Structure 1
Amino acid sequence: MAVAEFMDYVEKHQNDFVERLRKAVAIPSVSGDPNHRPDVFRMGEFLVNELKALGASVETRDLGKQDFHGTQTLDLPPIVLATIGNDPTKKTILVYGHYDVQPALKEDGWATDPFVLVEDDKQRLIGRGSSDDKGPVLGWINVVEAHKNLGLELPVNIKFCLEGMEESGSEGLDELIYQEADKYFKDVDAVTISDNYWLGTTKPCLTYGLRGVSYFHLTIKGPAADLHSGVFGGTIHEPMSDLFAVMSKLVSPNGKILVPGVYDQVRAMTAEEEATYESLDFSLDDLHGAVGNKTNIHSDVKSVLQHRWRYPSLSLHGIEGAFYNPGDKTVIPSKVIGKFSIRSVPDMDPKKLTELVEKYVTDEFNKLGSKNTMIIKCSHDGNHWLASPNHPNYVAAAKAVETVYKVKPDLTREGGSIPVTLSFQDALKKNVLLLPMGRGDDGAHSINEKLDRSNYIQGTKLLGVYLHEVAKVEL
């Protein structure tokens, strides 16, 4: 009866919830832009006020200062910690989300002002942060409001951990999680994150795995300054030529990583895992729509998804120090930095991966016989994350999906990385569930980011019903 009453309330008050999202989207909380740093603080205050109005016990944690690329020092936005309920007989669910957003300008190609929420004729709520991650964060607040206004007791205690730097590396968050593991987070029974998306556009999913990412900078340095190619071309070892030669040996055009030993670390496929690919709601048309053309390497859905989720990939990202403006410039750059990353999977060890890359790149550079100098460094080595879809936390979420959407959810992994999942899992020793609200075509970091009204409202119902289901299981 309580679940039905809750879901009915959400349906009837959806316009109020859309208005709440409208107010949040209007705050341009772009963490990566120093000019918008005050807006990130303002967004944090917005959430503090919303939570306090619902009776939450709220505290904020100051994370100190940020050295912004050596150009200036900025205040880091606070972590918002909020608690609703402290009944020792109930389970405590930790909800993580972030209130900062990616940059967005009308001139980037947006059809509307990115910081004015617009609902189009397809009932899509268009605006920066609507799907990533303001809509999902507000979905949890909507759940609390619905129970409060109905006079219904929440079936669990809820703790919120909301940060304002997720789009800029989550600076300071890991330290706080480990510091508070036996303090603020000590009574947490499970963690839930709604900061990812459905596999496609029609069917909900539960996500139980993410790839890690190791990012590399390959620096090759030669002459003391940039040189004229007409005077010095053909007389010196050119750093750019060396860089192209080495980077061409990293990955083949069909996506195969050429660094020896990488695939030796990859966990073997089990029959159980193989079976999970049989009924997923995804087609090659979904891939073509997301990419904008048909440049896919693999010709069947299973292979596409396996190479997106459970096999490593190596991508070349750019070259720092090279001429890149329009027009002609006959310069030989004195130093260039090639940037590439490897997405890692179970059972790859980030430290071992770095060792393999450093040895291989060094060997390939030495084969050139160049008199330039080379340095290869890993700037970031986030590990992969994997949970079990059979864990009671996931079973509860699956039942909630069936209640709200009348279908069994797809069980998916994702190719991207959400480092905080691993931090919570390692620090708290608790199960982490990824319970997405938005669709696979929301365009979270792109122009015209949107969250369908139906996903926002049904997603709010899902979050609430999940709390009722997880209250019944043994975690």
Structure 2
Amino acid sequence: MFSSPESRLDQLDQVSRHIEAHQEEFVQTLKDWVAVESDSVQPLPRLRQEICRMMDMSADKLRRLGATVDTVDMGAQQLPDGQSLPIPPIILAELGNDPQKPTVCFYGHLDVQPAAKEDGWLTEPYTLTEVDGKLYGRGATDNKGPVLAWINAVSAFVALEQDLPVNVKFFLEGMEEAGSIALEGVLRREKDRFFSSVDHIVISDNLWLSRRKPALTYGTRGNSYFTVEVKCRDQDFHSGTFGGILHEPMADLVALLGSLVDSSGQILVPGIYDSVSPVTEEERAMYSAIDLDLGEYRNSTQVERFLFDTKEAVLMHLWRYPSLSIHGIEGAFDEAGAKTVIPGQVVGKFSIRLVPHMNASTVEKQVKRHLEDVFSRRNSSNRMAVSMVLGIAPWVADIKDNQYVAARRAIRTVFGTEPDMIRDGSTIPVAKIFQDVLQKSVMMFPLGAVDDGEHSQNEKINRWNYIEGSKVFAAFFLELATLHE
């Protein structure tokens, strides 16, 4: 498709100059999108209408680029209080169907977390506001900015009347922040139609590890979330009347939770590390190459001391080793002041972040066996019940896959540096769902800086990240096409 690297660079130069020249237009579009309060977390009719409006805006934007656009009716969501709310449609769009070109599909979401000025925002959350090159607004980095960066890259080729080097597809949803309701069903239905020609899937829904150095993400941890209930009776007790003559549920629960992890972060559940894949020398080299100032990172998190003293150890325990966190207790007195109550029943909540090759059902059995053993040794008359309420597998990609090679080359061309090859310690279920259901290559290609504040107050994307990110996606198209020649 391309006669020489020089012609490819010349084409990229033209596209990049177009993106640079039209950056105010691209920022204005982001401003228009941020202005839509597409909050999917709060189940309110007004907000669902806003998400649907956002989906319509994106579909119209893609049609004006010349894309074929289908909107998938997702039906309604039945809420526990009996009300029914529409599930926003999913957008399926495509430009090009040349069998000689690779086909790459971009997944993104256009819904956002709740935001209000009184929560601590310095600007109006649904008004994109630029301060010192930072574009503040809810959804700026998660995920409206990256979705638009991909569209900007495509639009530059279209505006210059240049042939798109790849076939491009879009899969855009509006319920990611609420758990991607019904998404997996759409993937299964479209596997042999919309996705049949797709070679690669790109997700840009996470962040760099740095403020200035780009990154590619090749793995995320899974999550097993547990509840452990200890019950004596439905009513609470007065400690002056009953203290000292019964097994207190809170004491039992504290002992159970305290048996899960030690002060060094080591999980104490027998067998939990048996399936964790060993660290390879290639991995060690990748961790050593990552650009992270541990002191600066510690200061930015306002933590006095981490459990580990080296960059490599900290990153490995964030990304490629399991961790156990205790999250809270239902039924306990947690208000200000003193109250001499003995809770009649309490529920503890904790989770284990899973890594390759851990299995959620195996972990469930190990945790239940361990807690039952600890509880039996207390000889308590209370009743205990353990439940795993969530079990999401980890995701890991092959960094030797063509799209990772193309993305690294594109980053090197646009940003002038090799990217950090990173994992993410959190759980991003959609990557694993795409990989498992479609059996396609999935890559996470973040654009946002580490301090973008997704989900928090004062979320932003830097203008530089947004505009250079649009260029790097264009470079990625060209590099991917070259690798498929």
Partner of 1:16: 25
Matched, 1:147 2:157: yes
Residues 325 and 78 of structure 1, relative CA distance in 2, 3 Å threshold: farther
Q: Which moved more, 1:51-60 or 1:305-314?
A: 51-60
CA distance in 2, matches of 1:343, 1:113: 35
Shift in Å at residue 69 of structure 1? Answer: 4.6
Amino acid in the other structure paired with 2:263: P
Partner of 1:254: 264
Shift in Å at residue 407 of structure 1? Answer: 0.8
Cα displacement string for residues 304-350 of structure 1 (whole angstroms, at most 9, x for unaligned residues): 00101110000111112222222333332222211111111111111
Shift in Å at residue 391 of structure 1? Answer: 1.4
Q: Pairwise mapping of residues 35-54 of structure 1 onto structure 2 (< 5 A)?
A: 35=44, 36-54=47-65
CA distance in 2, matches of 1:286, 1:132: 24
Partner of 2:115: 104
Shift in Å at residue 414 of structure 1? Answer: 1.2
Runs of 4+ in 1 over 6 A off after TM superposition: none
Q: Which moved more, 1:78-87 or 1:401-410?
A: 78-87
Q: Which moved more, 1:221-230 or 1:207-216?
A: 221-230
Pick the aligned partner of 1:94 from 72, 81, 105: 105
Task: Check the 8 A contact 2:101/2:484 in 1, yes or no.
Answer: no
Matched, 1:29 2:38: yes
Partner of 1:449: 459
CA distance in 2, matches of 1:443, 1:317: 21
Pick the aligned partner of 2:442 from 432, 438, 442: 432
Partner of 1:389: 399
Shift in Å at residue 71 of structure 1? Answer: 5.8
Task: Check the 8 A contact 1:200/1:286 in 2, yes or no.
Answer: no
Partner of 2:377: 367
Task: Check the 8 A contact 1:313/1:343 in 2, yes or no.
Answer: yes
Shift in Å at residue 242 of structure 1? Answer: 1.3
Task: Check the 8 A contact 2:209/2:450 in 1, yes or no.
Answer: yes
Cα root mean square deviation, aligned: 1.5
Identity of aligned residues (%): 46
Shift in Å at residue 451 of structure 1? Answer: 0.6
Partner of 1:116: 127
Q: Which moved more, 1:279-288 or 1:210-219?
A: 279-288
Residues 339 and 69 of structure 1, relative CA distance in 2, 3 Å threshold: farther
CA distance in 2, matches of 1:238, 1:191: 52
CA distance in 2, matches of 1:459, 1:279: 22
Partner of 2:358: 348
Residues 374 and 306 of structure 1, relative CA distance in 2, 3 Å threshold: same
Q: TM-score scaled to structure 1, two decimals?
A: 0.97
CA distance in 2, matches of 1:330, 1:55: 68
Shift in Å at residue 70 of structure 1? Answer: 4.7
SS at match of 2:391: strand
Shift in Å at residue 26 of structure 1? Answer: 1.0
CA distance in 2, matches of 1:146, 1:83: 16
Cα displacement string for residues 94-116 of structure 1 (whole angstroms, at most 9, x for unaligned residues): 10011111111222211111111
CA distance in 1, matches of 2:455, 2:120: 13
Matched, 1:195 2:195: no
CA distance in 2, matches of 1:137, 1:377: 38
Residues 193 and 106 of structure 1, relative CA distance in 2, 3 Å threshold: same
Task: Check the 8 A contact 1:290/1:441 in 2, yes or no.
Answer: no
Partner of 2:143: 133
Residues 331 and 255 of structure 1, relative CA distance in 2, 3 Å threshold: same
Q: Which moved more, 1:285-294 or 1:163-172?
A: 285-294
CA distance in 2, matches of 1:289, 1:179: 48
Q: TM-score scaled to structure 2, two decimals?
A: 0.95
Partner of 1:271: 281
Partner of 1:7: 16
Partner of 1:335: 345
Matched, 1:80 2:91: yes
Cα displacement string for residues 21-79 of structure 1 (whole angstroms, at most 9, x for unaligned residues): 11111111111102322222221122112112212111122223324355643222221
Gapped runs of 5+ residues in structure 1? none
Partner of 2:334: 324
Q: Which moved more, 1:354-363 or 1:236-245?
A: 236-245
Q: Which moved more, 1:243-252 or 1:72-81?
A: 72-81
Matched residue count: 474
